[in-house]
Chain A
Amino acid sequence: MDDMNEILKEKERWENSTVKKSLEKFPERKKDFETFSKIKIKRLYTPADVNYSYLKDLGFPGEFPFTRGVQPTMYRGRLWTMRQYAGFGTAEDTNKRYHYLLKAGQTGLSVAFDLPTQIGYDSDHPMSEGEVGKCGVAIDTLKDMEILFDGIPLDKVTTSMTINSTCAIILAMYIAVAEKQGVPTKELKGTVQNDILKEYIARGTHIFPPEPSMRLVRDVILYCKDHLPQWNSISISGYHIREAGATAIQEVAFTLANGITYVQKIIEAGVDVDEFAGRLSFFFNSHNNFFEEIAKFRAARRLWAKIMKERFNAKKPASMMLRFHTQTAGCTLTAQQPDNNIVRVALQALAAVLGGTQSLHTNSRDEALALPTEESAEIALRTQQIIGYESGVADFIDPMAGSYVVESLTNEIEQGAMEYIRKIDEMGGVMKAIELGYIQKEIADSAYAYQKAIENKEYIVVGVNEFVKPEEPPKKILKVDMEKELYQKEKLRKVKESRDNSKVAEKLKVLKEVAKTDQNIMPAIIDAVKALATLGEISDALREVFGEYKEM
């Protein structure tokens, strides 16, 4: 082993002789180099520039602190799940896209719902005008959900659903579809996002005030624990926090701080941490700064493992594992020269894989303009397949470990995130920090700094602020026309006409009664969806009891 002091001494010599001479002729491109998180980048990393204990800080894959991955053999056993987020128009349209994606080799489904569905409005609500089927599929009743999964056996696929405020309703519908297909709930595999805190922070599909919202989150987690033991009952999401402008450090910090808040909430319900923590999952963004992103995933895993072990006294390894889905960064896609996005996505996807993701969505090249066409969605999926099957990277476990650069960045991100978490703790926790607008402001400041950096060309965006050329608009763009909205409204009208309305009224009444108590709300919602109560009616019943959240 080299003596660290010797290396430092030699490094200094190198700086003062070899480097100095070189700089006179070839100055560096910038005076200071730093990552998006403002981590200073040294000229060179040597063994003396990074401080870690292999056994304590890295360890072995599948073991605490999980820095090197959550599975013992990682992708040597099975590649990550290739899960493309998709949904548009009606359940009929989206069902067709799912069959197409599954045939193309996709290994899991991921449902995008339209905004009315996410915010608890039926397609015929005035607030829904113009939004029906636009950025996801419209679901009003159980009938739509049945169409959405028509011909897709729910015991054979895993399904991820991006749904938060109305999570309990959508999950209830999924359970009802499974029942119709004859699939026992204990066999269902998938994920609901169910992460309300980041809605207040960054994504904006909240309905109810924080307290009752947290109760709904808790009810879903506890219902799944008892009835859907293989289901990930929450996906604690940094993705949207990052999209809103956060840095890598902020993404880790605010996501894990939210995670802490959920764990506390469930423990307060009297449940032992090891009984549910194994079903918590996470969702991160993979952005442009390649090494920083890889380090971010590793740092998040290590920090979460420590939090679960030290703060919450978890005993089971599964409770300490940060399992996560990744999506490449939508906010880095450019409307200019959109085919360049294929390359951006490939690099971001590679970072996610080198960072040990469990599943991955790769964005399509045209998403700065509209929802992806089928052709663009296929290229995005093929990008993952090329990384997985051709590049050879999947044969190695945590291949960046031991890189002086990546280990150093991993340490810095972990420390930076811990610093934020400490600050939030001091404020009285995430709910308080949101109320004070602290987290939102931190993110908005980063977003503004990022925009400024692009405008003064500190960051180069190819095709946007450099290497610009006049161009033709892309030929093919996916359009969701207004006819879909009319069709969806008509379908809803027919369901309302043909169902037993007195039964619906009765189920909604029971639901409101349960909402007023502290009982688990899931059974009452399942009964209501089976009686064909609409998503909007159920949400309205809850609005009546819980009230609505007013921003600012």
Chain B
Amino acid sequence: MKKVRILIAKPGLDGHDRGAKVIARALRDAGFEVIYTGIRQTPEQIVNTAIQEDVDFIGLSCLSGAHNTLFPKVVELLKEKGADDIIVFGGGVIPPEDVDFLKSKGIKAIFGPGTPTEETIKFIKENIKGE
């Protein structure tokens, strides 16, 4: 079976990458293949990388407040490129009232501050598509 591949990405201008790096490492330690984009990526760059790297999941991290613009854009672009089998989840400083909005736009899960990495790992395991 192919190893599960995950892209951790920082969309927009936000430079706070502590969470992104921690989750990337935790997922790697959990046995997944993880690619971290580094900071300041456009949604286009993220989607292109995701397709090139043939990932199963994209994890988006944003602490600047731009999530409502940037997260849905990633999902839209995936659809446009016919890659909407890639599951998108996110994290960062995201007010509870935005969580429902983001989910309605196709972001499968939002992990706010204080989420144990175990919870994200569990989410990945539960959402791995059967071969």
Cβ of B15 under 8 Å from chain A:
yes
Cβ of A360 under 8 Å from chain B:
no
Cβ of B33 under 8 Å from chain A:
no
Given contacts A135-B65, A447-B21, A477-B97, contact A455 B114 (CB under 8 A): no
The secondary-structure label for the interface of chain B is: loop
Q: Which residues of B contact A130 (CB under 8 A)?
A: 12, 66, 68-70
Mark A95-117 against chain B: 1 for CB-CB distance below 8 A, else 0. 00000000000000000000110
Taking a contact as CB atoms under 8 Å apart, the answer to whether A477 and B95 are in contact is: yes
Write the nearest CB–CB distance from A475 to chain B, whole angstroms.
10
User: Which residues of chain A from 112 to 158 have any CB-CB distance to chain B below 8 Å in the complex?
Assistant: 115-116, 118-119, 121, 126-131, 134-135
Given contacts A115-B12, A130-B69, contact A369 B21 (CB under 8 A): no
Q: Which residues of A contact B118 (CB under 8 A)?
A: 455
User: Which residues of chain B from 9 to 48 have any CB-CB distance to chain A below 8 Å in the complex?
Assistant: 12-18, 21-22, 25-26, 38-40, 42
Task: Choose one: B14, B68, B95; the contact of A115 (CB below 8 Å).
Answer: B14
Given contacts A130-B12, A204-B15, contact A473 B96 (CB under 8 A): yes
Task: Choose one: A199, A448, A464; the contact of B114 (CB below 8 Å).
Answer: A464
Taking a contact as CB atoms under 8 Å apart, the answer to whether A451 and B95 are in contact is: no
Which of B40, B69, B114 has the most A CB atoms < 10 Å from its CB? B114
Segment touching B, from A173-181, A211-219, A328-336, A387-395: A328-336
Taking a contact as CB atoms under 8 Å apart, the answer to whether B13 and A127 are in contact is: yes
Closest to A473 in B: B96
Taking a contact as CB atoms under 8 Å apart, the answer to whether B22 and A204 are in contact is: no
Q: Which residues of A contact B68 (CB under 8 A)?
A: 130
Cα distance A447–B22 in the bound complex, in angstroms: 7
Taking a contact as CB atoms under 8 Å apart, the answer to whether A465 and B13 are in contact is: no
Residues of A within 8 A of B (CB): 115-116, 118-119, 121, 126-131, 134-135, 199, 203-205, 243-245, 331, 333-336, 367-371, 444, 447-448, 451, 454-455, 461, 464-465, 473-474, 477, 479-480, 482, 551-552
List, sorted by A's number, 18 A–B pairs whose CB atoms are closer than 8 Å: A115-B66, A130-B70, A131-B13, A131-B14, A131-B66, A134-B64, A135-B64, A135-B65, A204-B15, A243-B18, A331-B18, A334-B113, A370-B93, A447-B22, A451-B22, A479-B95, A480-B65, A552-B38
